[in-house]
Amino acid sequence: MLTLRHTLGREDLEEAHQRANPSRADCLDMINRLQARRIEVTGTRSEVASRARAAYAIGLSAECATLTRRLRALDAELGTIESSLDRILELLRPGAERQAVRRTRDASIALGRARLKAIFALLEKAGVPNAANRIQVTNPRFVMPTDDRPGVITITPGRAKVQA
C-alpha cells in the first residue's frame, strides 16, 4: 500500500490567494473576455441551429444528429460562460472581500487535490499493479504553513490489512 498526502507550502498559499482573489482590474478584464466569447458562441450557435433546422426539414438525419450534438456542446459552453461570469461578478460585489479567506482555503485544497490526482496518475502510468486498490489518496486539508518550505506530496509505504 502507498498513502499519498499533500502539505501546503507558503508559495502555494500565496498563489492560491492571488488566483482566488483577483484584482478588480483582472475581474473586469475576465468579464470582457467572457462577454466577447459569449457573443462569439451565441453567433455560432445561431448558425448551427439554422443548419440543423434545414437538415431536419430535408430529411438529412445523420447531419441533423451531428448538428444537434454540436448544439448541445455550444449550450454547455454557454452555461459554463454564464457560471463563470456569475462567479466573477460575485467578486465585485460590496463585501466580497470578507470571503477572501474562504476562497483562498478552497483554492489551496483544490491545488492539493490536483497534485494528488497528478501523482496518482503518474504512479498508475508507471505500472503500479492494481493501483486503485493499492494507493490511498488522502483528502487534502488546509493547514497554514509555518515556514517557507514548498508544497510537498508525501508518499508513505505501508501494509494493507488482510481481509478475512
Asked whether residue 162 is assigned to any structural domain, the reply reads no
**Residue 19 has what pLDDT?**
93
Q: Alpha helices, DSSP H only, in the chain?
A: 10-20, 24-57, 61-92, 100-125, 131-134
- Residue 3, classed as helix, strand or coil, is strand
The total of other beta-carbon atoms located within 10 Å of residue 37's CB is 16
Dihedral pair phi/psi, residue 147, rounded to 5°: -145, -170
Which residues make beta-bridge pairs with 154?
A: 5
Give pLDDT, residue 154.
Answer: 93
Instruction: Give the total number of structural domains in the chain.
Output: 1
> Can you name the residues that pair with 4 across neighbouring β-strands?
137, 155
Mean pLDDT by 10 residues, the chain (164 residues): 93 94 96 98 97 93 94 98 97 94 95 95 90 90 90 88 58
* In a domain? residue 61: yes
Could you tell me if residue 164 is inside a domain? no
Question: Is residue 46 a part of any domain in this protein?
Answer: yes
How confident is the model at residue 163, as a pLDDT? 58
- CB burial of 13-25 (b: ≥16 within 10 Å; e: otherwise) equals bebbbeebbeeee
Range of the domain at 135: 2-157
Q: How far apart are CA 86 and CA 73, in angstroms?
A: 20
Which pLDDT score, from 0 to 100, does residue 60 have? 92
pTM for the full model? 0.74
Q: Residue 129 has what pLDDT?
A: 87
pLDDT of residue 133: 87
pLDDT digits (tens, 9 = 90+) for 98-129: 999 999 999 999 999 999 999 999 999 998 88
User: Does residue 102 form part of some domain?
Assistant: yes
In a domain, 78, yes or no: yes
List the Cα angle 150/22/34 in 5-degree steps: 125
DSSP class of residue 148 equals S
83 within domain boundaries = yes
pLDDT at residue 164, rounded to an integer: 54
Please report whether residue 107 resides in a domain.
yes
Q: Whole-angstrom Cα distance, residue 114 to residue 134?
A: 19
